[in-house]
Structure 1
Amino acid sequence: MPQPPRFSLIAGRRDIIDRREIAQRIAALPDAKLQQEGTQILRDALQGGRAEIGRRLAAESGRGRVIAASYAFLSDQIVRLAYDLVTQRLVATADPDAGERLAIIGLGGTGRGEMAPYSDLDLMFLCPARNVPWCEGVAEALLYLLWDLKLKVGHSVRTIPDMIDAARNDMTVRTSLLEARWIWGDAGLDAEAMRRFRSEIVAGSEREFVAAKLAERDERHRRMGDSRYVVEPNVKDGKGGLRDLHTLYWIGKYVFGVERPADLVDKGLFTAAEFRRFERAERFFWSVRCHLHLAAGRPEERLGFDMQRQIADAMRYADRPGKSAVERFMQFYFLNAKTVGDLTGLFLAQLDTQMGERGRRFALPTFRRRPKRLDGFTVDRGRLSIPADDWFRKDAVRLVELFALAASEEMEIHPHAMRIAARDARLVDHVRDDARANAFFLDVLTARKNPDMALRWMNEAGVFGRFVPDFGRVVAQMQFDMYHHYTVDEHSIRAIGLLSRIERGELADDHPLSTRLFDQIVSRRVLYVAVLLHDIAKGRGGDHSELGAEVAQELCPRFGLDEEETETVAWLVRYHLLLSNTAFRRDVADPKTIEDFVGAVQSPERLRLLLILTVVDIRAVGPTTWNDWKRRLLRALFDAAEERLRLGHKQRGRAEQVAARQQALADALAWKSSAARAHARRLPDSYWLAEPDSWQVANALQVADAEARIGDPQPSVVADADPVSGMTRISVFAPDRPGLFYRIVAALSVAGASIVDARIHTTRDGMALDNLLITDARGRGYEDSRTRRRVANALEKALRNDHEPVLKEMGTLPRREEVFRVAPRVLIADKASTRTTVVEVNARDRPGLLARLAGVIHAAGLELHSAHIATYGERAVDVFYLTDAKGRKLDTEASASLRQQLLDVASEAN
């Protein structure tokens, strides 16, 4: 009886299900109890088999292929038993004619003999002709029986001509038929169908199929994020996942007729060593997928944060210094995803070589003609190659030179050269200190066009991580948080690619300042090396900025950088978060903020380098991390620091800038000069330095409108779209009173809004003018004007109410976010401002957190002068500039009491 080869891997198959014993039990049932009791026997057998496979997975979690085959084997036996029950007892025919035949054929994963616990059962009922009552009756009865067993069945009822037509017109059907496998019923029908499929569909259509599968793969990657390093990967359909391995097998089967993946070696598409990597990755991914299905209790394919920790425990990963069990598990996941990417590139390039006509490439783009030899390397139809298999063994420096040439000549590397480079990668250990090798590496890193592509090839071959072992330590390393979208190595390589695009002017619209500054920097290679090394020390259990600076001090001289360049790179790595942390967490309008920042930076050159490094670092975190609001904050800090460094005096320039902003507002409003001067005198310098021009115009109009009303001043609230940030601006003009900010954030919290940033200003005549940026529960601005008006009305009503706000419990978190914990921390910086005490709270972000923190500040009788809210995935960092009721900094006792109360709230957030 034919079975998929992988069924032979399953030990003790009868312990999973004994079909003969179950068939005997069903045969002994009387007709009156056949339907009910027969179904129950099958249900018990299915549940018992699943329980046995689950025990085997728990005991040997690394045998993913065997587990997948076991689930398919169990499904096969259930289908066979159900078919026999239907045809022999339920829809039995005493004297069947020639048309009463039916073949049950497994398609897709069912046909391949690989199923996860909750995979669909994909079946085709093949009939000899249309409209045969017996066939239709059997198919219907069988489906109802399988549905009664709670199996999810994907099915089709076809004749052979129907099947051929569907395969001709639908590539998905064609692919599923490629893995078709007879399960039970009439084997002759299956044999005839497969013969016609191969002769009428497959023969002569190989190029069409390959092109369609590659296009389908690219579209699937695009939907899934187009990276194999996204932190919540899709095990089945994500880039570098199981479907990519299946695609290689499908192409090999369609083009070369292979019957099992191991045959890809015989066809020259993989070496034996490469196929072993294929099998290891496949085993691992099947283990993860089966664990994922069982943990979720449904056909879940996305390895979400909530599942990662569970599966890491199930697969027996343990914590290590500097790296948690879940981070070690996910690093191994991404290493396997990287393996799939490497193998895909080799496979397709080899396929291209075998299928291409002489002088013409099959699937990959053509390149302009090149000289036949480049420094001893050869060129094979536009791809950089090597003249002999011992080329790297004769001179290991060539392992680095290969990628330098590929970068400088903008050439793809031939799969043969990549294979030999991967084989000989260990030889690069002996030339790490070789000046030529390091010069070539610097050429790769600083290539004028697409250095990220050459670095990825170098990484795929295993040369990168061996030549720079510190980089090898972060290959495929994940950070278990909601902020970082990619692994550390992918993040760094993406940042280098962004840096190159800024240098070439391709991102001038997005980053005009960085593009302009690039032409002013003294050493471009300092910047490229700093971007490479800025996260090099992550996962070592300490401050990665400090540890990374030490790594830079060791590596830069090896790369060929002089003493001054080395010092600059080390400084940039040590302080690569300084600009963003200051801009997002501190009051840039406070002179002390600028003084401290400039004191750390010290030179215009470092400031320029730091800005560009910060921009590419933030953008490379993920596709939605960079926004115009962050651009605005960074630009404000950069301009203030640049002015201070240029003018060299902390007061000069500040008054001029304030006067210029006031004059710009007066020009924009066309008010009488007396009215414009009166408005300007009411507001402190911090207002003019902090608020964007458009907000100042909107605020002035709001204030004028509110004061034109007759009677006592009432709170005025404006909610408007802010096109720069994509969020909603809330502006509050109201009589200042203790706890006003608390009332504002409490009301917004009750309304379901999240506060992204807040700036608080008090006029010289006792009015408050506060500007806040808010989003809805999805993190987006309120697009509908009516919704914005409702939020504004609710806030106005709350501000008119004299009763203390009643806060709800802090909102619950989605299940996928519950796994994250943030160590609560409260920092009190008495010297960060000359006038106020700066309090920074780090806590688990959740709805209502800011309102509760503001409530503590209000209850303590403190005055809030400025608030800055930053969120990094699951971590909230809220900073408050405070004084006591008399306008003085907090004393030691008040600081200690406040710290403990804020820490209690931060702890509750977990």
Structure 2
Amino acid sequence: MPVLDLDALTAASRPERVRLVDEWLTGLLADALAGTPRVSRRRGSPPAGPAGTGVALVAVGSLGRRELPPHGDLDLVLVHDGRPEVAALADALWYPVWDAGLRLDHSVRTVGEAVSVAADDVKAGLGLLDARHVAGDPEVTAGLRTATLGSWRQHAGRLLPQLRDLRRGRSRQVGELGFLLEPDLKEAYGGLREGQVLRALAAAQLADEPPADAGEAYAFLLDVRDALQQSTGRATDALVRQEQRPVAEALGLADDDVLLRQVSLAGRRLAFVADETWRRVEASLVRRPRARYRRVRREPLAEGLVRQGDEVVLARDARPAADPGLVLRGAAAAARADLLLSPYTLKVLAVHAPPLPEPWPPEVRWSFLRLLASGRSAVPVLEQLDQEGLLARMLPEWDRVRSLPQRHPWHRFTVDRHLVEAAAAAAELTRDVDRPDLLLVGALLHDIGKGWPGDHSVVGEVIAAEIAARMGFSPPDVAVLAAVVRHHLLLPATATRRDIDDPATIERVAATIGSSPALLQLLHAVAQADGAATSASAWSPWKAHLVAALVARVHAHLVAGPPPAPVLEPTEPQVTASTPGRDGGSEVTVGMQNVADGQQITFGAPDRPGLFSRCAGVLALNQLDVRAASISVEDGRATSIFAVRPRFGRAPVPEILVDGLRAALEGTLPLAERLRQREADYRQDGARAAAPRVSWHDAEVAGAASTIVEVRAGDRAGLLYQLTTALADEGLDVTSARIETLGADALDSFYVCDPTGTPLDPDQRARIERALVAAAGGDTADPATLGAR
């Protein structure tokens, strides 16, 4: 019996791997035929021998396509002419494959049975299109291929819609390959499946063969998958973060970012070609009334452009080579009508469209703004321009961010797609600002600086100014757009990390943006669009509430209006309990009301050291995530206010909270021990263990010196309790806090002060920083660096 060396197989190149498996399977079939006597032979059937056995071993799937990955399954079909001993023959063939340690997907069929299954099951039909003869009777395989192809073409009108729905369903479930940080190379939309589907559509004679660049993209993804499986030593199609660097090295690429960018480009190209092909296929599958002469209706849309069916095409009198504004005029017309440009029109424009004059003429800029103002309809049109190289021709800086990955758990998209999504989101906010044109362009360019080294906001300010000037905006408008890009993170960062009820915070924001309510208005809208284009975690209702409250305060400061009400205001207690053994002044109360994206909890209790941390511990024990907090003391009684969100969707129970706080104050509730157990119960495997970071900022609150200490650490149950306990143990009072979760990280900002009013000296800061690092679960920081940041 032939032997297969699995180590040599996995290390071999793709063609060599297929050759080794084919030779091995050929030997297995020969042995199986030799050891399985034929029971009978039909009259007129050919004599025994490879060409007349009536049995063929056919490869389908990746082996059939000669694309077998290092740890791929063998998809085999034993095709026969009805011989009764085929079951014994199959056993003699399949068991050695299993014994060799290979995964096997197998079936035994006659040609008629295979075709019948393929006619009813779109997956089976798709697989049989890749049928390739491996061993046995080639005439049987030829008959299978001919019958399968004929059946596929015959039933295409019924099977192809099923295939389309199947792929779209996987796209919604798995995502788009071009925009994922950890893509599934096979099943994500734009992955290897798309290449296989494109060949199937061509086989149905409803589409041309995929273009050469789509074939190159497909071949690159095959190389990535081979390197991935050779690196991991197992069958996988998921290019997860920890495997990207070894795969990049195996492919000779500079680093994992280069790898992910090339994967994105390949996936986007395959997805684009697949989308265009499906549009053609769907149009051909629509039944139309027969007519000897059928006039195609052409509806004018703009100068040089008409609607023809479901596409925008060039008018007969269009002059692409002499009309620089035709590209953007056509894109705007398509987006406004919720259509796409025809592939032929795109090709003509890509070849003949002249460069845009600099600065852009007003009508060209107006078309560009109309395109962006179309919102969601503009996204696929901009992708069309991008895929044909037209977008980068108008905005050369676009190539620096094209398919550029973003290494942050917040982001769903590559940088360029994020910018397009932000512009689409901004289109829904144009009525909220005085200058919608600046809003749309500012949203599109707010992260353009990520294509260059350095702080992307600082770098982007210069680049955005150059682009805006080239677009023909006036110098004052160029300055505003540059400021929008420079400060697009100002509002969300301030709202989530600083006390927005502190006048000093408002003054700093106002000083940063100058005395321009219009710029404040634009920054607010861009922040909303940026958050919506990032993820739900990046722009929660509570964060939107904080940013809106900050904007209201800054606007009131700029126009000298009355300040808005504080974000956190005490609520009337719903539950009251008395601490045994204390006087009436020791009453503990809890109030609750619904607020944006959660609840607001108000604790009332006698002031004492560590009260704030105990309140935070009780909330953590009840699985409540804190978003913001403040504390005030009057006549020896403290009021602590927390904006919380239930981690598992269950609203807090005031009776449980008041009992928990009372027990914690009495010392009968071991908060630290209970929270350690809670953390152990809910610890996630593979959580990052990056060292915590602490930074300091001086501030002034209500005329008194205060200090802001920021802690960035891995998020976990009870983190806020641990940090506030560390601050209390160091003798500090916490007056307010802002809590933000950044994916797996938490960024907690605390306003702290020494009860004596003494400023914190460097030695005290160093000691506090060590305590915070220890409380956050990290290693103790180097004393030489503490307090220096």
Which TM-score applies when normalising by structure 2? 0.85
The CA deviation string for residues 725-757 of structure 1, in whole angstroms up to 9 with x for no partner, is 25x7666544432223344555666x5957442
Partner of 2:330, secondary structure, is: helix
Matching residue's letter, 1:176: G
- C-alpha spacing 1:591/1:293, structure 2 compared with 1 (3 Å): same
Give the aligned partner of residue 217 of structure 2: 281
- C-alpha spacing 1:250/1:795, structure 2 compared with 1 (3 Å): farther
1:369–1:382 CA contact under 8 A, matched in 2: no
Task: Give the whole-Å Cα distance in 1 for the aligned partners of 2:737 and 2:173.
Answer: 38
Matches within 5 A, 1:447-596: 447=374, 450-503=377-430, 518-519=431-432, 521-596=433-508
Matching residue's letter, 2:257: E
Over aligned residue pairs, what C-alpha RMSD do you find?
3.9
Partner of 2:539, secondary structure, is: coil
Partner of 2:450, secondary structure, is: coil
Matching residue's letter, 2:470: R
Deviation at 1:119, TM superposition (A): 2.3
2:694–2:769 CA contact under 8 A, matched in 1: no
Task: Give the whole-Å Cα distance in 2 for the aligned partners of 1:390 and 1:866.
Answer: 65
Deviation at 1:488, TM superposition (A): 0.9
Task: Give the whole-Å Cα distance in 1 for the aligned partners of 2:8 and 2:583.
Answer: 77
Give the aligned partner of residue 117 of structure 1: 70
Task: Give the whole-Å Cα distance in 1 for the aligned partners of 2:373 and 2:676.
Answer: 54
The CA deviation string for residues 419-453 of structure 1, in whole angstroms up to 9 with x for no partner, is 2334457x53x645442544543443345883334
Matches within 5 A, 1:202-241: 202-225=152-175, 228-241=178-191
Deviation at 1:46, TM superposition (A): 2.4
Partner of 1:620, secondary structure, is: helix
Partner of 1:770, secondary structure, is: strand
Task: Give the whole-Å Cα distance in 1 for the aligned partners of 2:594 and 2:265.
Answer: 42
1:235–1:289 CA contact under 8 A, matched in 2: yes
Give the aligned partner of residue 257 of structure 2: 327
Task: Give the whole-Å Cα distance in 2 for the aligned partners of 1:398 and 1:823.
Answer: 54
Give the aligned partner of residue 550 of structure 2: 637
Partner of 2:405, secondary structure, is: coil
- C-alpha spacing 1:784/1:500, structure 2 compared with 1 (3 Å): closer
Structure 2: unaligned runs, 5 residues or longer: 46-52, 782-789
- C-alpha spacing 1:549/1:171, structure 2 compared with 1 (3 Å): same
Partner of 2:534, secondary structure, is: coil
Task: Give the whole-Å Cα distance in 2 for the aligned partners of 1:522 and 1:336.
Answer: 41
The CA deviation string for residues 841-894 of structure 1, in whole angstroms up to 9 with x for no partner, is 234445565444334323321111112111222443210000113255434543
Task: Give the whole-Å Cα distance in 2 for the aligned partners of 1:77 and 1:228.
Answer: 37
Task: Give the whole-Å Cα distance in 1 for the aligned partners of 2:591 and 2:685.
Answer: 32
| Aligned equivalent of 2:253, options 317, 341, 354 | 317
- C-alpha spacing 1:815/1:496, structure 2 compared with 1 (3 Å): same
Give the aligned partner of residue 908 of structure 1: 779
| Aligned equivalent of 2:751, options 881, 889, 892 | 881
Matching residue's letter, 1:79: L
1:191 corresponds to 2:152: no
- C-alpha spacing 1:830/1:645, structure 2 compared with 1 (3 Å): closer
- C-alpha spacing 1:785/1:630, structure 2 compared with 1 (3 Å): closer
Moved more, 430-439 or 288-297: 430-439
Give the aligned partner of residue 786 of structure 2: none
Give the aligned partner of residue 826 of structure 1: 695
Task: Give the whole-Å Cα distance in 1 for the aligned partners of 2:622 and 2:103.
Answer: 39
Matches within 5 A, 1:167-178: 167-178=118-129
Partner of 2:738, secondary structure, is: strand
The CA deviation string for residues 57-100 of structure 1, in whole angstroms up to 9 with x for no partner, is xxxxxxxxxx3x444444333333333344434xx327764598
Task: Give the whole-Å Cα distance in 2 for the aligned partners of 1:335 and 1:628.
Answer: 34
Deviation at 1:804, TM superposition (A): 8.7
Which TM-score applies when normalising by structure 1? 0.74
1:576–1:614 CA contact under 8 A, matched in 2: yes
Task: Give the whole-Å Cα distance in 2 for the aligned partners of 1:164 and 1:337.
Answer: 32
Task: Give the whole-Å Cα distance in 1 for the aligned partners of 2:638 and 2:195.
Answer: 62
1:801 corresponds to 2:714: no
1:439–1:560 CA contact under 8 A, matched in 2: no
- C-alpha spacing 1:737/1:709, structure 2 compared with 1 (3 Å): closer
Partner of 2:221, secondary structure, is: helix
2:589–2:604 CA contact under 8 A, matched in 1: yes
Matching residue's letter, 2:607: D
Task: Give the whole-Å Cα distance in 2 for the aligned partners of 1:205 and 1:768.
Answer: 76
Give the aligned partner of residue 59 of structure 2: 106
Partner of 1:861, secondary structure, is: coil
Give the aligned partner of residue 535 of structure 2: 622
Task: Give the whole-Å Cα distance in 1 for the aligned partners of 2:372 and 2:323.
Answer: 21
Deviation at 1:576, TM superposition (A): 0.8
1:725 corresponds to 2:601: no
The CA deviation string for residues 514-551 of structure 1, in whole angstroms up to 9 with x for no partner, is xxxx25x3221011111111111014221111221212
Partner of 1:119, secondary structure, is: coil
Give the aligned partner of residue 82 of structure 1: 28
Matching residue's letter, 1:830: A
Give the aligned partner of residue 522 of structure 2: 609
Deviation at 1:236, TM superposition (A): 0.8
- C-alpha spacing 1:823/1:423, structure 2 compared with 1 (3 Å): farther
Matching residue's letter, 1:886: T
1:338 corresponds to 2:268: yes
Tell me the percent identity.
26
Give the aligned partner of residue 577 of structure 2: 706
Give the aligned partner of residue 441 of structure 1: 368
Looking at secondary structure, tell me which structure has more helix per residue.
1
Task: Give the whole-Å Cα distance in 2 for the aligned partners of 1:151 and 1:785.
Answer: 53
Matching residue's letter, 1:344: A
2:58–2:76 CA contact under 8 A, matched in 1: yes
Question: How many pairs were matched up?
Answer: 760
Deviation at 1:291, TM superposition (A): 2.3
- C-alpha spacing 1:717/1:371, structure 2 compared with 1 (3 Å): same
Task: Give the whole-Å Cα distance in 2 for the aligned partners of 1:572 and 1:78.
Answer: 65
Structure 1: unaligned runs, 5 residues or longer: 1-25, 27-37, 57-66, 257-263, 319-324, 362-366, 504-517, 658-688
Give the aligned partner of residue 61 of structure 1: none
Matching residue's letter, 1:158: R
Moved more, 462-471 or 186-195: 186-195
Matching residue's letter, 2:551: F
Deviation at 1:477, TM superposition (A): 0.8
The CA deviation string for residues 749-802 of structure 1, in whole angstroms up to 9 with x for no partner, is 6x59574424132442434443445668xxx4343889x998987776554327
- C-alpha spacing 1:231/1:765, structure 2 compared with 1 (3 Å): same
Partner of 1:537, secondary structure, is: helix
Task: Give the whole-Å Cα distance in 2 for the aligned partners of 1:831 and 1:372.
Answer: 64
| Aligned equivalent of 1:150, options 83, 101, 117 | 101
Matching residue's letter, 1:297: G
2:501–2:567 CA contact under 8 A, matched in 1: yes
Deviation at 1:120, TM superposition (A): 2.1
Matches within 5 A, 1:32-51: 41-42=3-4, 45-51=5-11
Give the aligned partner of residue 291 of structure 1: 227
